[in-house]
Amino acid sequence: MTTSNQPHSYGAMSRTELEALEITLVQKYDEIAAAKLALDLTRGKPSSEQLNLSNELDGILKGQYILQDGTDVRNYGGLLGIPEARALGASILETNADEILVGGNASLTLMHQYLAFMQPIWKQECPEGVKFICPVPGYDRHFTLCEHFNIEMIPVSFNGQDPDLDQIERLVQQDPSIKGIWCVPKYSNPTGTTYSETAVKRFSMLPKISGDNFRIMWDNAYAVHHLSDAPDQLANLMALARHHDTNDSMVLFGSTSKVTFAGAGISFLGTSREKLGEFEQHLSETMIGFDKVNQLRHVLFLKDMSGIARHMARHAALLKPRFALTEKILSKYLAGKRIGEWSRPNGGYFVSFDAIPGQAKEIITLAANVGVRLTPAGATFPYGLDPEDRNIRLAPTFPALDSLQQALEVFVVCVQLASVRHYLKS
Amino acid sequence: MTTSNQPHSYGAMSRTELEALEITLVQKYDEIAAAKLALDLTRGKPSSEQLNLSNELDGILKGQYILQDGTDVRNYGGLLGIPEARALGASILETNADEILVGGNASLTLMHQYLAFMQPIWKQECPEGVKFICPVPGYDRHFTLCEHFNIEMIPVSFNGQDPDLDQIERLVQQDPSIKGIWCVPKYSNPTGTTYSETAVKRFSMLPKISGDNFRIMWDNAYAVHHLSDAPDQLANLMALARHHDTNDSMVLFGSTSKVTFAGAGISFLGTSREKLGEFEQHLSETMIGFDKVNQLRHVLFLKDMSGIARHMARHAALLKPRFALTEKILSKYLAGKRIGEWSRPNGGYFVSFDAIPGQAKEIITLAANVGVRLTPAGATFPYGLDPEDRNIRLAPTFPALDSLQQALEVFVVCVQLASVRHYLKS
């Protein structure tokens, strides 16, 4: 057994060292079990303190419900959203206001509605079935939508900060039944990376090698969600697409779910004016319109991009200590041991952890058995299947700092225990 | 020409009388045209005064966002809605709170989602196509939903206050591809009638002669929307259905669209607990949850059935003069002439006008040409086809009283003009 305080790689340990370590870790694990914890690191939810930042939303209208153009936001109508909110969405998604539809409290609903709109078109072209490319690890809700519509998912790995565009271009060229791709281009869920300018350029030209009805589902959920004073820069997909005349294939999504109230914000969809008109027509058959009163609340509260930046800085002030604590604990217990790698994102809501291949499920089960809930293994992959069984999505935003610390201290014990047993077996 | 002030039936007039009348009416019509009106009787929209009744909604939370059960309404989750709002919906739809889902700002969205949920089940049973029975005249948005899902519509006429249940039962027995029926059972859109207790009983037993997957879409949009001190009573479909073990087939809908804000209320769906669970599962694939903050606002504002009754009395005070004016003008100019019949509803949002067969389109065109917009002819029938071309839906709620009077005075001139020409041609 080493007497040094320097951690060293589990792979370099002797069997005796590993066995001794296992005993120590089991002891720690049993102590944790005795504490009967009930902690949760599963969902990218804002904390109560973050939600408090937007309490002013309620009561902000002060009886003023009439817009400059005369619209009464309380009444029916106006499927595309109020002009003021469309302008706000255009600023966030960096496109033109007349290319924006403002939705209800979740962009996921808009994604679902957009896929429902495209379904008959795709089915006619590909009666045998439609496929989507899914960069992995990715967002489970995107994958659930694909399953819901019987869209076959083709996982494509990341290559550094970007999805593997060589592979994506090859796939799209080979298989005309591939009708779309999911992207979370900024502070990606869960990897935290932001696509490079080169990647965005290649995405803007992707429809040139696919059919007309190929869609890039550009879920810019974390567009303004910085955790660093030197935030990542994302190239403007829509501007590039306009240049290449591929903007009909671009569908931008965003929301204020992690700006104001997670469950009571407003959402945005951006695409070319022509396609927006077709989508509006589709929606008009199925609904009357979204909540314009809440749209006006958001306009008055957030105002413009400077207002949003000031507001997001308050979020960052609450989030930075949580991400710093996560980094601190993971580093303290796992650095140098070669039993896991993790992301250090400049924004977004997640830390992506890669364990030794084959250990994710085991780690998550170990944690669950002592009262710490983690996102299910495989959740970040289509069909819940992580081929290497190694990715774990950590969501440090919701718990209070002391709970977060407890949960992470359990997590690192579970990672170590699973890993030491892995080496003992091999 | 008669010198009496008593109007008499156009049918009994001589050609000379009719020709003289036409000249007078054309003169009036030309005077109207010169006034360059821009009036609108198309949509069942609440007026600004009605919307003002609920302005208190904004600001009602006063920073309190946590429910008794600890739920933070601002955050994600809770697809079925907050317990307090489910209880409110249960009171309105007269069922149990655990059989209620609370939706967003429109029950139409819930109807669309429910049909989308049933589609694969129906398609598997009837690959050749699914049919729905549509009592006529009815609500155009129901018909649009059917068209959206390629559901063939079979119109069935009303027989007094009820849809013709003999015909409905016969159709359902004969044709297993009939999978549902639309009903607006109280203050029906547009006829204003409320189904009799006998009819509701027969509806509650309808699934006994249909397949398991038959659905009664019971759109109780005007449940609490009385215009009379002796409001209509509607028998409790769900209670009867429970008794007959047919409650899986019942789907109740309601909303606060015409209680609070038309475009920013909350909506309700009620069905058996088992079916509600299946529907929730379906929804969970496509969305995160509805706006719980707005649900809480509504609970605090409306409180309970007494609160709703007090609030609806304020609406009635604003609506009664509009309906009374409508009745007054239609009576004054059309009574006894046998050129039209119309409803005198005890609640709801519409007056249903039946012209001489073949004249609805002509009347609507005449009115449009002098600046008075009416709901398009046929809108109250599937595929926009009124086989007799006679039904016109008048929506008197939105315009101010003086505009309403103007619009109705134009309407009666158009009715008379179209009718006199009809008799001159025949």
Mean pLDDT of chain A: 96
Query: Is pLDDT above 60 for A2?
Result: no
Q: For residue B51, which residues of chain A lie inside 8 Å, CB to CB?
A: 65, 72, 74-75
Contact A263 B147 (CB under 8 A): no
Upstream peptide bond of B387 is cis (omega within 30 degrees of 0): no
* Contacting A residues, span 143-162, partner chain B, CB-CB under 8 Å: 144-145, 147-148
Query: Is pLDDT above 90 for A22?
Result: yes
What is the per-residue pLDDT for A45? 93
pLDDT-based confidence at residue A135 (cuts at 50, 70, 90): very high
> Residue B256 corresponds to which tokens in the numbers above?
């606060």
Using CA atoms, how far residue B403 sits from B28, B318, B396, in Å, is: 17, 15, 10
What is the per-residue pLDDT for A412? 98
Burial class (CB within 10 angstroms; exposed 0-12, middle 13-18, buried 19+) of A426: exposed
State residue B62 phi and psi, 5-degree precision: 50, 45
A79 and B CB contact within 8 Å: no
3-state secondary structure of A155: strand
Q: What is the pLDDT of residues A65-78, one digit of tens each?
A: 999 999 999 999 99
Class of domain B67-303: alpha beta
Q: What is the pLDDT of residues A59-114, one digit of tens each?
A: 999 999 999 999 999 999 999 999 999 999 999 999 999 999 999 999 999 999 99
| Distance between CA atoms of residues A84 and A102, nearest Å | 10
Contact B263 A55 (CB under 8 A): no
Check: complex ipTM more than 0.90? yes
| Distance between CA atoms of residues A194 and A214, nearest Å | 23
pLDDT-based confidence at residue B7 (cuts at 50, 70, 90): low
Element (H or E) spanning A182, and its range?
strand A178-183
How many other CB atoms are there within 10 angstroms of residue A173's CB atom? Answer: 12
What is the per-residue pLDDT for B1? 37
What is the per-residue pLDDT for B4? 43
| Nearest-Cα residue of chain A relative to residue B63 | A55
B60 and A CB contact within 8 Å: yes
Sequence-ordered strand ranges (E) for B140-194: 152-159, 162-163, 178-183
B79 and A CB contact within 8 Å: no
Query: Is pLDDT above 60 for A39?
Result: yes
| Distance between CA atoms of residues A176 and B143, nearest Å | 36
Contact A261 B76 (CB under 8 A): no
Look at B43 and B83; give whichever has higher pLDDT.
Answer: B83
| Distance between CA atoms of residues B172 and B159, nearest Å | 18
Give the residue extent of every domain in chain A. Answer: 10-50+309-425, 67-303
CATH topology of domain A10-50+309-425: Aspartate Aminotransferase, domain 1 (3.90.1150)
pLDDT-based confidence at residue A378 (cuts at 50, 70, 90): very high
| Distance between CA atoms of residues A236 and A218, nearest Å | 11
The distance from CA A131 to its chain's CA centroid, rounded to whole angstroms, is 21
% of residues, chain B, pLDDT over 90: 97
Q: For residue A106, which residues of chain B lie inside 8 Å, CB to CB?
A: 287-289
* For testing contact with chain B, the best of A48, A76, A113, A300 (most B CBs within 10 A): A76
CA distance B146 to chain A (A): 10
Q: For residue A263, which residues of chain B lie inside 8 Å, CB to CB?
A: 73-78, 288-289, 291-293
Q: For residue B116, which residues of chain A lie inside 8 Å, CB to CB?
A: 116
The strand order across the sheet containing B340-342 reads B340-342, B351-355, B391-394
Helix ranges (H only) for A150-253 are: 165-174, 197-205, 237-244
pLDDT-based confidence at residue B211 (cuts at 50, 70, 90): confident
* End-to-end CA gap in chain A: 19
Query: Is pLDDT above 80 for A210?
Result: yes
What is the per-residue pLDDT for A332? 97
Contact A264 B73 (CB under 8 A): yes
Query: Is pLDDT above 50 for B152?
Result: yes
Q: Which sign, positive or negative, has the C-alpha torsion B228, B232, B233, B238?
A: negative
What is the per-residue pLDDT for B43? 81
Q: Mean pLDDT over residues A134-146, rounded?
A: 97
Q: For residue B62, which residues of chain A lie inside 8 Å, CB to CB?
A: 58-59
Q: Mean pLDDT over residues A192-210, rounded?
A: 97
* For testing contact with chain B, the best of A43, A47, A74, A123 (most B CBs within 10 A): A74
Q: For residue A43, which residues of chain B lie inside 8 Å, CB to CB?
A: 76
Contact A294 B294 (CB under 8 A): yes
Q: Mean pLDDT over residues B173-190, rounded?
A: 97
Q: What is the pLDDT of residues B225-262, one digit of tens each?
A: 999 999 999 999 999 999 999 999 999 999 999 999 99
Q: Tell me the angle at which helices B360-369 and B401-425 cross, rounded to the nearest 10 degrees.
A: 130
What is the per-residue pLDDT for B6? 55
* Contacting A residues, span 281-300, partner chain B, CB-CB under 8 Å: 285-294, 297
Candidate from A186-200, B3-17, B112-126, B356-370 with smallest mean pLDDT? B3-17
Contact A109 B287 (CB under 8 A): yes
| Distance between CA atoms of residues B392 and B343, nearest Å | 11
Using CA atoms, how far residue B395 sits from A4, A34, B37, in Å, is: 85, 68, 17
Contact A58 B58 (CB under 8 A): yes
CA distance B131 to chain A (A): 18
Q: Mean pLDDT over residues B293-317, rounded?
A: 98
Contact A286 B145 (CB under 8 A): yes
pTM, two decimals, is 0.96
Q: Which of A112, A263, A288 sits opposite B73 (nearest CB)?
A: A263
| Cβ pairs A/B, distance under 8 A | 145
% of residues, chain A, pLDDT over 90: 97
Q: Which of A63, A65, A263 sits opposite B291 (nearest CB)?
A: A263
B317 and A CB contact within 8 Å: no
Q: Which sign, positive or negative, has the C-alpha torsion A379, A381, A387, A391?
A: negative
| Nearest-Cα residue of chain A relative to residue B56 | A63
| Distance between CA atoms of residues B379 and B394, nearest Å | 12
Q: Give, in degrees to the nearest 5, the angle at Cα B321 between B317 and B326.
A: 145
If you write DSSP's letter for every residue of A51-84 in order, what string do you get? Answer: HHTTGGGTT-STT--B-TTS-BTTSS--TT--HH
Query: Is pLDDT above 50 for A4?
Result: no
